[in-house]
Amino acid sequence: MNDLLKDQVCLVTGATRGIGKAIACALIEQGGIVYGTATSENGASAIAQNFKRVEGDGHGHGHGRVLDVTDARGAGNLITEITEQSGAPLVLVNNAGITRDNLVLRMKESEWDEIMDTNLKSVYTLSKACLRGMTKARFGRIINISSVVGATGSAGQANYAAAKAGLIGFSKSLAREVASRNITVNAIAPGFIQTDMTNALSEDQRQAIMKNIPMAKLGSPEDIAAAAVFLASSAANYITGTTLHVNGGMFMV
């Protein structure tokens, strides 16, 4: 039986597919009680179905919930609901994110604002909402999913890169604020991962990307999930304020 996170209440935003789905399922496999969020009822139902495939055999269990991560009141209400049903979420994985790619000269203000609200401000909102329960428990794990482009930059993604870089700075700052309460805050910066987004790339685009990855392959969502499980577990008790780069050598600190 895997029980690194036995009975630990976890919240994963953006858990419908890709990295979020893999993280949520991995937390269940390690015994966690996992709440995964989506932006629609259909998405929440899909999450619940995904969870059923990994529940049982000593694993934990999960629930799908609807959440617009830009809605602070909705986030607060969800934390209250989870706390009443299962206990305060002591593991928070801020994974939800969107892209609105464009060159800065052509970028609409709305494309900038949507990225900041969804990819950065929501992390502040949800972290703040969870901190009360974590502080009371004198334990917590906040894991923020950043990106390699937050460290390297990416033409046509100034909004996305800025938000992902902001996550790293936020993680370091919050880590300093809550370390004395046994709450750790870390970021994971994935490189190019095999998801719906990379599946849509042309063969020429894929080959161009591969030239910049020493391991000459894309990562899998499970690679990121393994990093998240590690940071959520007791094995990472003394790790906080750090960014774990999972990118096949594409960017080396």
Task: Please tell me which residue in 35, 124, 160, 238 is annotated as part of the active site.
Answer: 160
Q: How many residues are recorded in the chain?
A: 253
Q: How open is the CA angle 221-225-227, to the nearest 5 degrees?
A: 120
Going through the chain in order, the beta strands assigned E by DSSP cover 9-12, 33-38, 61-66, 91-94, 140-145, 183-190, 243-246
Cβ atoms of 243 and 146 closer than 8 Å: yes
Phi, psi (deg, nearest 5) at residue 209: -65, -45
> Is there a catalytic annotation at residue 160?
yes
What are the Cα distances from residue 185, in Å, to 9, 113, 241? 16, 25, 6
Catalytic residue numbers, as ranges? 160
